[in-house]
Amino acid sequence: MNKPLNIVMTPVRNEAWVLRSFLETTSLWADYIIIADQMSTDGSREIAKSYEKVILIDNKNPEFNEAERQAMLVAKAREVAAGRDTLLWGLDADEVLAANFRETVDWNHIMNSVPGDVFCFKWAEICPDQKEYWLSPTTYYPWLFHDDGKEPHGNYVRNMHSMRIPYPIEEKQIYYVDDFRVLHFAYLNQHRVASKRRFYQFVDWEMNHRHSIVLSRSYTQTKKGEQVLPLPDEFLYHENEYGFDLLKLVDTNVAKCYMDDYIVERLSRHSMKVLRKLDIWDKVFLTTYQLDDPQRKVDKWVHSYLRKTAMTKDKKAIRLIDKVLKKLY
């Protein structure tokens, strides 16, 4: 009777490729899973409706706006909780708790936490070979809040990369979970990784008008400094114990992504004189949508330079060149 409610808040837009793996695993421990579906067309809604613990709500805004969707999820979670002691989890559809989470001291700490406590987690980003994972030694993400019912906390208001949970940033009840990981499936589908990189650059430019040099630096991922570790069997959910095999539920062959559709639908709204400076024009994207490459030779050179120097972007000389490029390009 003293156990807090576990409510998971998850935004979804065409996540059928990974949604069953998320819902099978999360249903093992969550009391409610609130899915804010943004007009999915790939069967995500039907998958979500087939799980007993799912509460499906509609995000009818066709535009990308993280602050709006997170506020929608939190409001619904608090409505469902109806004032009861509640843990608010912000997990995406391509993230699940590693299977050994219940056996840890940190899980016991979470279950015995108090309102106002914030818990930060590390990703175990599963490599495409499904035998290893990437781990950042220092990067934690605040994805769990023992709800104190206060609003607003004002920290999930950015249109991009917003916080997933409300929490009192002025207080010091922040804990770092090291006993278990959150498995991240993004790199099991390399096409989606490339699509998301394009998508974030385009949307960040469209909404926030950031410089193309800054965008390229922000969204070119190098895995610099991250450890490559063997993927432990105890992280995974297997048929003989859970009735499903976690990784077999992930469809790694999905080729087309709504994020590219989103970009293509908006290209005509903007001048190609500006869009050609964004590093989004790879051959697969151009071929899939039968687009003409708008890049000039100088655009290709700049993009090539930025990719080649991604690992050394923090060096003084590279930062100086970037500064010059931002003025000239």
Q: What is the pLDDT of residues 153-204, one digit of tens each?
A: 777 778 888 899 998 877 789 999 999 999 999 999 988 999 999 999 999 9
The reported pLDDT for the residue numbered 270 is 95
Asked if residue 146 and residue 201 are part of one domain, the reply reads no
239 lies in a domain?
Answer: no
Owning domain of residue 272 = 190-221+256-328
Residue 244 inside a domain? The answer is: no
Same domain, 182 and 196: no
Burial of residue 194 (number of CB atoms within 10 Å: 0-12, 13-18, 19+)? middle
Last residue of a domain, one of 186, 207, 242: 186
123 near 98, Cβ under 8 Å? no
- Whether residues 41 and 146 fall in one domain: yes
pLDDT for the residue numbered 86: 98
User: What percent of the chain shows pLDDT beyond 70?
Assistant: 100
Instruction: Verify that 78 and 141 share a domain, yes or no.
Output: yes
Higher pLDDT, 293 or 224: 293
What was the pLDDT predicted at 25? 98
> Are 132 and 170 within one domain?
yes
SS3 8: strand
Helices (H) and strands (E) in the chain, counts: 12, 12
**3-state class (DSSP) for residue 206:** helix
Residues 144 and 194 in one domain: no
Residue 212 lies in a domain: yes
Q: Please indicate, yes or no, whether residues 125 and 214 belong to a single structural domain of this protein.
A: no
| Residues 71 and 92 grouped into a single domain | yes
pLDDT mean over 108-121: 96
Q: Which of 165, 172, 28 is nearest to 107 (CA)?
A: 28
Q: Is residue 237 part of a domain?
A: no
C-alpha 61/C-alpha 48 separation (Å) is 19
Least confident of 65-69, 91-95, 182-186: 65-69
31 has pLDDT over 80: yes
On whether both 129 and 264 belong to a single domain, the answer is no
Judgement on whether residues 171 and 41 belong to the same structural domain of the protein: yes
CATH number at residue 69: 3.90.550.10
Shared-domain flag, residues 46 and 73: yes
Render 42-81 in DSSP notation, one character per residue. Answer: SSHHHHHHTSTTEEEEE----S--HHHHHHHHHHHHHHHH
Mean pLDDT (the chain) is 94
* 290 within some domain: yes
Mean pLDDT of 91-95: 98
How much is the pLDDT for 1?
A: 53
Residue 284 and residue 210 in one domain: yes
pLDDT at residue 162 in the model: 87
Q: How confident is the model at residue 42 (pLDDT cuts 50, 70, 90)?
A: very high
The stretch 15-27 carries a mean pLDDT of: 97
